[in-house]
């Protein structure tokens, strides 16, 4: 079976993926996000201080309405915080104007969504290449070929999304997200629409991208079995950090969620 290419490393390292062990890919400081005003105001994030480690798979979990999507959207530059700071790859997002924020997203982050968000009229190959085409950047064709092979898409590249299974569509979305070697891949419920076999496949690929490519992945999930693929699980409750689990089993995650008392 083909492996993802190992990243180039300088010096000796025992770290999978070759990234420095404590490097931080993204961080938030005193992050607050409110929606609405007055009595109708909702404090979706209520002072979140978080560090996302590089070359790790971090899962964000918590009850419905606890702020998971809002946190991910603020980290990815898709939503603007009410106060506090967000930085990704050393770039402080608060200082960026709209155009610069769009460029930041194009150049530094990749997205995998629950609903795949592929363009139905384009082939799988065209979908994978689209973000780089929009950015006017030449793809790394070696990486393209390796992603296509590892993700088992070689005989599906000329198919359009309606001709692909959910698992295949999500694999196309993963190739699209990984092709540009983004600093962080954000995956929002990436297995929410998949059966258990396709879910395991997709999670296995995300895991391998971390271990073999040194990719940083942040994933929002409701599923303890999905969270068990993570290096670290961050628990949210009422817009605040409520705990962290390191390399938990699915049972550990179930117990921790139950312990939130919601
Ligand atoms: N655009 C918005 N306008 C008003 N309130 C919002 C908006 N987006 C989110 N909220 C509120 O902010 C809170 C956090 O929402 P968020 O979607 O981040 O939670 P979540 O943990 O991702 O929930 P779920 O698991 O149900 O997707 C909720 O109370 C939600 O109703």
Specify the long-range contacts of residues 193-202, CB closer than 8 Å, at least 24 apart: 193/114, 193/115, 193/116, 193/166, 194/166, 194/167, 194/170, 195/166, 195/167, 196/225, 197/167, 198/165, 198/166, 198/167, 198/170, 199/223, 199/225, 199/226, 201/167, 201/171, 202/167, 202/170, 202/171, 202/174
**Could you identify the atom of ligand 1 that is nearest to the CA of residue 70?**
18
The answer to whether 239 and 48 are in contact (CB under 8 A) is: yes
The number of domains in the chain is 1
Distance separating alpha carbons of residues 73 and 67, to the nearest angstrom: 10
8 Å CB contact between 211 and 204: no
What is the extent of the structural domain holding 73? Answer: 55-79+96-259
Q: How far is ligand 1, taken at its centre, from the CA of residue 69, in Å?
A: 7
Q: Is the CB of 33 under 6 A from ligand 1?
A: no
Out of 36, 64, 65, mutate this one to test ligand 1's pocket (max ligand atoms within 8 Å of CB): namely 65
For residue 128, being part of any structural domain is answered with: yes
Given a contact cutoff of 8 angstroms between Cβ atoms, the answer to whether 150 and 4 are in contact is yes
List residues bridging with 29 in a β-sheet.
85
Q: Ligand 1 center to residue 65 CA distance, Å?
A: 5
Task: Give the closest residue to 82 by CA, choosing from 45, 50, 49.
Answer: 45
- Counting as low any pLDDT under 70, the low residues of the chain are 1-22, 262
- Please tell me if the CB atom of residue 70 comes closer than 6 angstroms to any atom of ligand 1: yes
Confidence at residue 22, expressed as pLDDT on a 0 to 100 scale: 66
3 state SS of 227: helix
- Angle of CA points 232, 238, 241, to nearest 5°: 30
Residue 14 lies in a domain: no
The token pair at 170 is 């999500």
Inside any domain, residue 233:
yes
* Whole-number Å distance between alpha carbons of 73 and 185: 12
Q: What is the pTM of this model?
A: 0.91
Cite the beta strand spans of the chain per DSSP E: 24-35, 42-53, 57-61, 83-88, 91-92, 109-113, 184-188, 217-220, 232-237, 240-246
CATH code of the domain containing 201: 3.40.50.300
Contact at 8 Å (CB) between 74 and 31? yes
CA of 168 to the centre of ligand 1 (A): 29
Instruction: Give the whole-angstrom CA distance, residue 158 versus residue 143.
Output: 18
Tens digits of residue pLDDT in 190-248: 999 999 999 999 999 999 999 999 999 999 999 999 999 999 999 999 999 999 999 99
Is 31 a domain residue?
Answer: no
Residue 99 CB: number of other CB atoms within 10 A? 8
Q: Is residue 25 part of a domain?
A: no
Instruction: Give pLDDT, residue 5.
Output: 56
Q: Is 81 in the pocket of ligand 1 (CB under 6 A)?
A: no
Residue from 43, 69, 237 to probe ligand 1 pocket by mutation (most atoms less than 8 Å from CB) = 69
Q: Is 68 in the pocket of ligand 1 (CB under 6 A)?
A: yes
Residue 23 in domain: no
Q: Is residue 87 part of a domain?
A: no
* 9 Cβ below 6 A of ligand 1: no
Q: How far is the CA of 134 from the centre of ligand 1 (A)?
A: 30
124 occurs within a structural domain: yes
> How high is the pLDDT of residue 135?
87
Mutate to test the pocket of ligand 1, among 37, 44, 71 (most ligand atoms within 8 A of CB): 44
């Amino acid at each position: 079976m083909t492996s993802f290419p190992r990243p180039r490393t300088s010096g000796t390292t025992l770290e999978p993926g070759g990234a420095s062990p404590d490097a931080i890919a993204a961080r938030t400081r005193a992050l607050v996000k409110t929606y609405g005003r007055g009595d109708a105001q909702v404090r979706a994030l209520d002072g979140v201080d978080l560090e996302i480690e590089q070359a790790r798979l971090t899962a964000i979990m918590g009850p419905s309405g606890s702020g998971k999507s809002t946190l991910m959207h603020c980290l990815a530059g898709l939503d603007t915080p009410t106060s506090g700071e967000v930085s990704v790859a050393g770039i402080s997002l608060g200082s960026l104007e709209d155009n610069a924020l769009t460029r930041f997203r194009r150049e530094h982050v990749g997205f995998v969504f629950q609903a795949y968000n592929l363009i139905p009229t384009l082939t799988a190959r065209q979908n994978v290449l689209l973000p780089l085409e929009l950015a006017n950047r030449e793809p790394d064709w070696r990486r393209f070929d390796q992603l296509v092979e590892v993700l088992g898409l070689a005989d599906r590249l000329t198919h359009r999304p309606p001709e692909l299974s959910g698992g295949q569509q999500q694999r196309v979305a993963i190739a699209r997200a990984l092709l540009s070697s983004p600093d962080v891949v954000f995956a929002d419920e990436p297995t929410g629409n998949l059966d258990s076999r396709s879910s395991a496949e997709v999670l296995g690929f995300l895991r391998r991208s971390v271990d073999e490519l040194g990719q940083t992945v942040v994933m929002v999930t409701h599923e303890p079995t999905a969270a068990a693929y993570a290096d670290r699980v961050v628990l949210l409750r009422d817009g605040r950090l409520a705990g962290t689990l390191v390399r938990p089993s699915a049972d550990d995650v179930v117990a921790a969620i139950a312990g939130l008392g919601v």
